[in-house]
Chain A
Amino acid sequence: MSALDPSLVRELAPQVIGVLVRRGADFASAEDAVQEALLAAHEQWADEPPRDPRAWLVTVAWRRHVDLVRSDASRRAREERVEREPAPGPAATSEDTLWLYFLCAHPSLSPSAATALTLRALGGLSTRQIAEAHLVPEATMAQRISRAKRTVADVPLEVPGDLSTVLRVLYLVFSEGYAGEVDLAAEAIRLARWLVALTDEPEVRGLLALFLLHHSRRPARRDADGRLVPLPEQDRSRWDREMAAEGIDLLQGALARDRLGEYQAQAAVAALHADALRAEETDWVQVVEWYDELVVLTGSPVHRLNRAVAVGEADGGAAGLRALRELDPALPRYAAVAAHLHERAGDLADAARLYAEAAAAATRTDERDHLTRQAARLAPHRRDP
Chain B
Amino acid sequence: MAKYLMLKHYRGPKGAVHDVPMDRWTPEEVDAHVRFMDDLADDLRASGEFVDAQALSPGGMWVRFDGEGKPPVVDGPFAETKDLIAGWMAIDVESEERALEVASVLSSAPGAGGIPIGEWLELRPFLDDRPNAVE
* A and B pair up: yes
Give residues in A with beta carbon < 8 Å to B: 110-113, 116, 134-137, 139-141, 143-145, 147, 174-179, 184-185, 214-215, 217-218, 221-222, 228, 230-231, 362-368
B132 touches A364 (CB 8 A): yes
Residue in chain B with minimal CB distance to A148 = B48
Given the complex, which residues of B lie within 8 Å of A184, measured CB to CB?
A: 133
B135 touches A230 (CB 8 A): yes
Tell me if B49 is interfacial: C-beta within 8 Å of chain A. Answer: yes
Given the complex, which residues of A lie within 8 Å of B79, measured CB to CB?
A: none
Question: Interface 1/0s, chain B 42-54, versus A by CB < 8 A?
Answer: 0001111111100
Given the complex, which residues of B lie within 8 Å of A143, measured CB to CB?
A: 45-48
A140 touches B50 (CB 8 A): yes
Task: Give Cα distance in the complex from A112 to B91, angstroms.
Answer: 13
Given the complex, which residues of B lie within 8 Å of A364, measured CB to CB?
A: 127-130, 132
B45 touches A177 (CB 8 A): no
Known: A140-B92, A363-B127. A147 touches B133 (CB 8 A): no
Tell me if B125 is interfacial: C-beta within 8 Å of chain A. Answer: yes
Q: Among the listed B128, B133, B135, which residue makes an inter-chain contact with A363, where contact means beta carbons less than 8 Å apart?
A: B128
Residue in chain B with minimal CB distance to A368 = B127
Q: Which 5 A-B pairs have the closest CB atoms?
A: A144-B48, A177-B130, A185-B133, A143-B48, A364-B128
Tell me if B17 is interfacial: C-beta within 8 Å of chain A. Answer: no
A141 touches B48 (CB 8 A): yes
Task: Give Cα distance in the complex from A270 to B32, angstroms.
Answer: 57
Known: A175-B134, A231-B135. A365 touches B48 (CB 8 A): no
Task: Give Cα distance in the complex from A342 to B20, angstroms.
Answer: 52
**Closest chain B CB from A120 CB (angstroms):** 12
Task: Give Cα distance in the complex from A178 to B132, angstroms.
Answer: 7
Q: How large is the interface on B (under 10, 10 to 19, 20 to 34, 35 or more residues)?
A: 20 to 34
**Closest chain B CB from A148 CB (angstroms):** 8
Q: Among the listed A139, A221, A230, which residue makes an inter-chain contact with B131, where contact means beta carbons less than 8 Å apart?
A: A221
Residue in chain A with minimal CB distance to B129 = A365
Give residues in B with beta carbon < 8 Å to A: 1-3, 45-52, 92, 94, 125, 127-135
Task: Give Cα distance in the complex from A177 to B129, angstroms.
Answer: 9
**Closest chain A CB from B46 CB (angstroms):** 6
Most buried by A among B47, B49, B133, B135: B133
Known: A140-B48, A175-B132. A110 touches B94 (CB 8 A): yes
A140 touches B49 (CB 8 A): yes
**Closest chain A CB from B96 CB (angstroms):** 11
Given the complex, which residues of A lie within 8 Å of B129, measured CB to CB?
A: 135, 179, 364-365
Given the complex, which residues of B lie within 8 Å of A368, measured CB to CB?
A: 127
Q: Among the listed A147, A178, A185, A367, which residue makes an inter-chain contact with B47, where contact means beta carbons less than 8 Å apart?
A: A147
Task: Give Cα distance in the complex from A9 to B31, angstroms.
Answer: 50
A179 touches B130 (CB 8 A): yes
Task: Give Cα distance in the complex from A284 to B2, angstroms.
Answer: 33
Given the complex, which residues of A lie within 8 Å of B134, measured CB to CB?
A: 174-175, 214
**Closest chain A CB from B41 CB (angstroms):** 11
Task: Give Cα distance in the complex from A140 to B134, angstroms.
Answer: 27
Given the complex, which residues of B lie within 8 Å of A222, measured CB to CB?
A: 131
Q: A113-B48, A177-B131 are in contact. List 12 more A-B contacts (CB 8 A).
A: A111-B94, A112-B92, A136-B92, A137-B51, A137-B52, A143-B45, A175-B134, A176-B130, A217-B135, A363-B2, A363-B127, A364-B129
B127 touches A177 (CB 8 A): no
A365 touches B128 (CB 8 A): yes
Residue in chain A with minimal CB distance to B50 = A140
Residue in chain A with minimal CB distance to B93 = A112
Given the complex, which residues of A lie within 8 Å of B135, measured CB to CB?
A: 214, 217, 221, 228, 230-231
Given the complex, which residues of A lie within 8 Å of B130, measured CB to CB?
A: 135, 176-179, 364
Instruction: Supply 9 A–B pairs (Cβ within 8 Å), ascending by A.
Output: A110-B94, A112-B48, A112-B92, A137-B50, A143-B46, A145-B48, A147-B47, A179-B130, A364-B130
